[in-house]
Chains A and B, each alone.
Chain A
Amino acid sequence: GESVGLHLPTLSVQEGDNSIINCAYSNSASDYFIWYKQESGKGPQFIIDIRSNMDKRQGQRVTVLLNKTVKHLSLQIAATQPGDSAVYFCAEAGADNQGGKLIFGQGTELSVKP
């Protein structure tokens, strides 16, 4: 069936370094993707999104890259800070005319060492 998965379950980086979190998706028809950050005991928090008509989108310290050819999504965090420590999920949105439900992968735990 359709799935969204992550290559790395855990990532440990030094404070100030850049982080890259990867995600693979299987539904080539998907046209909207979101990255979420989830801290312990809290709900997922929106970070950045991207539509399939783009291959790159930048936010504050974060960049999402989309490679539709290989169905790959990545989240880049610049100058990683201790406050970035959390689990990161990519999510794929279903067709809006079919409810647009999000399908999540397993997540990557980012640990930032001071």
Chain B
Amino acid sequence: DTGVSQDPRHKITKRGQNVTFRCDPISEHNRLYWYRQTLGQGPEFLTYFQNEAQLEKSRLLSDRFSAERPKGSFSTLEIQRTEQGDSAMYLCASSLQGAGGYTFGSGTRLTVV
């Protein structure tokens, strides 16, 4: 296992388009987290899954954002009708319940033009 993988690394999209990002966590980790990070700031929590269940969503996650983890393994984050304010680094992390081991992926850099 090579850690947490995110795809794509970079995405440039026009305002109003939909985008989807993928995260593959460490295989034995049952928790998966999505964060958003803007320049000069720390990552901000968006949502997390325990196995396939989405158990918490931040109020930062507007109705245009949706995340899934259908089989409790990889996860996708979709942003509909993108806005310039969505431009950020989207980070995925995974951990093992009760044991921590939080590991982050390299992120997906989204630029909305």
Q: A interface vs B, CB < 8 Å?
A: 4, 32, 34, 36, 41-46, 49, 89, 91, 93, 96, 99-107
Contact = CB atoms under 8 A, between A and B. Distances in A.
A106 B42 contact: yes
Interface of A is mostly: strand
B98 A96 contact: yes
B31 A100 contact: yes
Contacts, number: 60
Interface of B: 4, 6, 31, 33, 40-45, 48, 50, 55-56, 91, 93, 95, 97-98, 100, 102-107, 109
A105 B43 CA distance: 8
Given A42-B107, A44-B91, A106-B42, A101 B97 contact: no
B40 A34 contact: no
Given A41-B109, A43-B105, A46-B102, A102 B97 contact: no
A45 B98 contact: no
Contact of A43 (B31, B50, B100, B107): B107
